[in-house]
Amino acid sequence: MPGKIVSVTSSSHFSTLLSQSTYTIVDFYADWCGPCKAIAPVFQSLAEKETKPGKLQFVKVDVDAQQEVARKYGVSAMPTFLVIKSSSVVETIRGANPSALTAAVRKAANDSGGSSPAVFQTKGRTLGSSSEPSRPVNESPLAGLQRLIVGNGGFSDIAVRFVALYVISLFAFDGFKAAENSAFNVRARR
């Protein structure tokens, strides 16, 4: 294999390679496999562009020569690409799918880029809250109750309408008609 792709020679060699880099992109191939040959230039191109020593490496495993490694990772179709991070598989691509392979490699390359960890890239959240705070920081704890009592359509408005409609309909001969025509009717035009 030319360039930046390492060919696996044994199971122990593969284990050593996994320990040398944060991410390892593995191509399980066979010499007789047509789709493997078709996607090989894409894998080679990605290896040349994205290899980062100690962070991201590209490895090829011949399934006929290294059956033990292929069996360990459950490879049953060729080509199969694995994205391995710190000795555990994070993504599997079966078949010659250049766009999926490119996306997986770019994702691994971005993650291994050496920037700050993903943990510190968002502003954070408080347990039990949405993205916005439940109340402004400088607002008093009783402001919500005050809005409920005083505000338009608040508790006081609802209570006054209920009592007024009850009294009007109680003392009218036609309670339903009186409530409909009342100024306290919610549906009445003001």
Q: Is 33 a catalytic residue?
A: yes
Q: Which of 6, 25, 36, 82 is catalytic?
A: 36
Among the listed residues 25, 178, 172, 183, the one whose alpha carbon sits nearest the alpha carbon of residue 112:
25
Q: Is 121 in contact with 60 (CB distance < 8 Å)? A: no
Q: Which of 33, 40, 83, 105 is catalytic?
A: 33
Whether this model's pTM surpasses 0.75: no
Q: How far apart are CA 67 and CA 5, in angstroms?
A: 19
- E runs forming strands in 2-98: 5-7, 23-29, 56-62, 80-85, 88-94
**What tens-digit pLDDT sequence spans the chain (190 residues)?**
445 899 999 999 999 999 999 999 999 999 999 999 999 999 999 999 999 988 999 999 999 999 999 999 999 899 999 999 988 999 999 999 999 999 999 999 988 775 445 555 555 565 655 555 555 555 666 666 555 555 555 667 777 777 877 787 788 888 778 778 777 676 765 5
Q: Is 186 a catalytic residue?
A: no
